[in-house]
Structure formats: C-alpha cells, structure tokens
C-alpha cells in the first residue's frame, strides 16, 4: 500500500499498484503477503485436506466423461460404480481407523475373504444355523484384528510387518478351510439367502442401489461419529499424532491401538458379508484387489500415512475415485492392466502430495 502512495499521481500507475495490494488484503490470514500461488495452495490444502479428494474426483469425472461420453453419466453406470466401490469403501473405513493411528493393515482383504468363506462354509457345507454362521464369521475378523492389535501394541512390532505376516497366515487358512472351492450362488441362495442380503437391490431414478451400498454409508456414518464426536475418536487421532504426548495426557495408547485393530477386523468381516452380496457366490479368491484399493482410497482421501490426520469422508471420496478410475478405464476399453497401473500411480501421487502438504511452514 505504501508503494501505491508513493506512485506518481497518474491514474494508470496507481491502478497498477493497487491491484496487487487488493489481492494481498484478501489473504491477510497468511500473514506474509508475498507467497507464491503454489505456497498458497499448499497452505489451503494443509488447512483443508479433504479438498484434495474432491478436486481429484471432479477431475476424474471430467476426464472419463470426455473420453467415454454420455454413457459414463448414465444413472445405471453411476450406480454400478457405487456397487463396485462398496467393498473398497467398507475396507477403507477399517483402513482409515488403522492409518489414523500411524499404522497400516495389509491383512484387511484377507480377513474379509476368510470371514466370507467361514460364513458360507459353515452355513452351506456344515449346516450350521445361518445366524450362528454369520456371527462366527464376524468373530473371525474380530479375532484376526485383535491378534494384529496385540502384536502391534503389546510386542511393539511394526504394523507393516505384523499385517504382512497375518495377511499370509489368513490367506493360507482361507485356502486350507475353503479347499480352494467356490460355493455356487444358487447353493448359497438355497440354504443361506441371508448372506446375500446385502446384494438386494432397488431402483432409484434409473439407478440400481444395493443394500450393501446403504450398509456402507451407515457404517461410514457410525465411524464418522465415533471419530469426531466421542472421546475414543479424539484418542485415536492423538495416538496417531504423537503417541508419547497421548500417553502423557493420560490416554491408554495400547488400549486404543488394540481396540482400533479389533474394530477394523470387525469391519473387514462386515465387508466379507457385503462381498457375498456383491458376487452372490462365495469364493476364496474374490476381493483380491481389496488391500491395495483400500489403502489407495484412504491415502487419496487425504488421510496421512503418518497418522493423526484424515477423515472418513475423504476415504469415501477416495474410494469413489478408485471406482471411477476402474470403471472409466474399463468403459474406455482399456486393458485391465491399465487399471492397476493408474491405481498405482494414484497412490504414489497421493503420498507425495501428503508429504508436500506436511512440509508447510508457518
């Protein structure tokens, strides 16, 4: 502003000087006036990490609608994306909880499939009453998650290693228990149609919405509530942010970790139930991309791999981004390998973006 005052009393010069001054005023909150647009962007994203997934989703929608055309925005296709995203999003909810504590769970996909196989085989092959088979299936996830949590919190092993190990173990148990057999859709339907309940669909303005998608939204809502409106949620954030500080503030950090891994296991089992509804049959090799996709959804969703910051809303949008990429590339006629390629690219860009945003200064 002082520069403007010093400028010659010639209308044009004053005008030229006044323009940057006006922009400065609109950014007083950054307290230093002359930041580059990139720096401003960095600050904006630091303050609003959930903005990233929304921006990426918008860009992805624009990109694929321009490649694929109107077919992409057809309600049926959009609802198909939603169905395809349901499993990733439920696993993503589990993964968000874990990553908020600065951990990672590589076993979510394996826990999901093992749970679905246990539910299915107990109900269909062993003749166990369906409700009991269902609950035992849920217990598989609870137990698996609890084991992960104990190994991480009690033995202080790195979550990556723990869950890499349990991923293999749950995967092997799954192959052993299922004998690599698939239970056919009509067999499940005949004995245990409740297991396919999440596949029930209804029409809504030309879109086909499944109960699995509704279940996913309810689950995400519950976890949002727990993370943002309860003391436990605050403790999850604090544990991931700085475990020592959390401990000194009186938080039972070990207890939080065990609870988070156990809860994540339960959510994986629920994903297993949704998986049966999605594919109808029960297969020991389904949901193979669940692990990577769930981590991708969480990371693209703006949750930091270093813990303490992130959101469930971001994860849902992140899951949608993964779904849009997979669906859009398929509709565009690209080979499935390019789906994997783009998901890999997305995850690297997302983590690089997270690192960059965290380096924000002042």
Partner 1 sequence: MNQSAQNTHAPAGVAPILQARDLVKRYGHVVAIDHAEFELYPGEILAVIGDNGAGKSSLIKALTGALHPDGGEILLEGKPVAFRSPLEARAAGIETVYQNLALSPALSIADNIFLGRERLSQGFLGKYFRKLDRDSMRSDARKHLNALGLLTIQNIDQPVETLSGGQRQGVAIARAVAFGSRVVIMDEPTAALGVKESRKVLDLILDVKRRGLPIVLISHNMPHVFEIADRIHIHRLGRRACVIRPQDYSMSDAVAIMTGAKEAPVH
Which residues form the interface with partner 1 (CB under 8 A)?
A: 225, 229-232, 234-235, 237-238, 241-242, 244-246, 248-251, 308-309
CB of 216 to partner 1, least distance (A): 21
CB of 240 to partner 1, least distance (A): 8
Nearer to partner 1, 109 or 308 (CB): 308
CB of 230 to partner 1, least distance (A): 5
Nearer to partner 1, 186 or 228 (CB): 228
Angstrom distance (rounded) from CA 357 to CA 274: 35
Nearer to partner 1, 11 or 362 (CB): 362
What is the SS3 assignment for 74-96? Answer: CHHHHHHHHHHHHHHHHHHHHHH
CB of 211 to partner 1, least distance (A): 24
Nearer to partner 1, 166 or 315 (CB): 315
Helix (H) or strand (E) holding 109: helix 108-120
- Residue keyed to tokens 């349990």: 166
CA 280 to chain centre: 24
Residue closest to 90 by CA, chosen among 302, 238, 239, 278: 278
Following DSSP, what letter does each residue of 266-322 receive, concatenated? HHHHHHHHHHHHHHSSB-TTTTTTHHHHHHHHHHHTT--TTSS---HHHHHHHHHHH
Angstrom distance (rounded) from CA 325 to CA 48: 24
Count Cβ neighbours within 10 Å for each residue of 335-359 and write b for 16 or more, e otherwise.
eeeebeebbeebbeebbebbeebee
Nearer to partner 1, 59 or 222 (CB): 222
Structure tokens at 185: 């859709």
Nearer to partner 1, 70 or 231 (CB): 231
CB of 252 to partner 1, least distance (A): 9
Compute φ and ψ for 280, nearest 5 degrees.
80, -50
Nearer to partner 1, 24 or 242 (CB): 242
């Amino acid at each position: 502003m002082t520069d403007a005052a010093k400028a010659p009393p010639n209308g044009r010069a004053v005008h030229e000087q006044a323009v940057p001054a006006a922009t400065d005023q609109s950014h007083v909150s950054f307290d230093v006036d002359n930041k580059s647009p990139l720096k401003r962007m960095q600050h904006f994203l630091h303050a609003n990490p959930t903005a990233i997934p929304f921006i990426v989703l918008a860009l992805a929608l624009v990109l694929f609608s321009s490649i694929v055309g109107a077919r992409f925005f057809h309600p049926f296709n959009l609802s198909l994306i939603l169905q395809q995203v349901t499993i990733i999003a439920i696993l993503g909810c589990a993964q968000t909880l874990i990553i908020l504590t600065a951990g990672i769970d590589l076993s979510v996909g394996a826990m999901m499939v093992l749970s679905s196989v246990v539910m299915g085989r107990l109900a269909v092959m062993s003749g166990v009453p369906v409700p009991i088979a269902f609950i035992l299936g849920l217990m598989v996830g609870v137990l698996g998650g609890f084991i992960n949590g104990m190994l991480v919190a009690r033995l202080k092993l790195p979550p990556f290693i723990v869950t890499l190990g349990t991923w293999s173990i749950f995967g092997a148990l799954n192959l052993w228990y299922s004998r690599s057999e698939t239970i056919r859709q009509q067999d499940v339907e005949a004995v245990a149609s409740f297991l396919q309940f999440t596949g029930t669909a209804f029409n809504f303005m030309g879109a086909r919405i499944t109960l699995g998608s509704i279940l996913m939204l309810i689950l995400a809502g519950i976890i949002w509530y727990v993370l943002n409106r309860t003391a436990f949620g605050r403790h999850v954030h604090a544990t991931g942010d700085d475990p020592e500080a959390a401990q000194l503030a009186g938080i039972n950090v070990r207890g939080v970790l065990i609870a988070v891994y156990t809860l994540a296991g339960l959510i994986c089992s629920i994903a297993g139930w949704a998986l049966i509804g999605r594919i109808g049959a029960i297969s020991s090799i389904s949901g193979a991309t669940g692990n990577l996709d769930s981590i991708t959804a969480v990371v693209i969703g703006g949750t930091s791999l270093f813990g303490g910051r992130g959101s469930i809303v971001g994860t849902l949008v992140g899951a949608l981004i993964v779904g849009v990429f997979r669906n859009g590339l398929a509709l565009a006629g690209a080979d499935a390998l390019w789906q994997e390629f783009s998901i890999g690219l997305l995850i690297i860009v997302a983590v690089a973006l997270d690192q960059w945003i965290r380096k924000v200064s002042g």
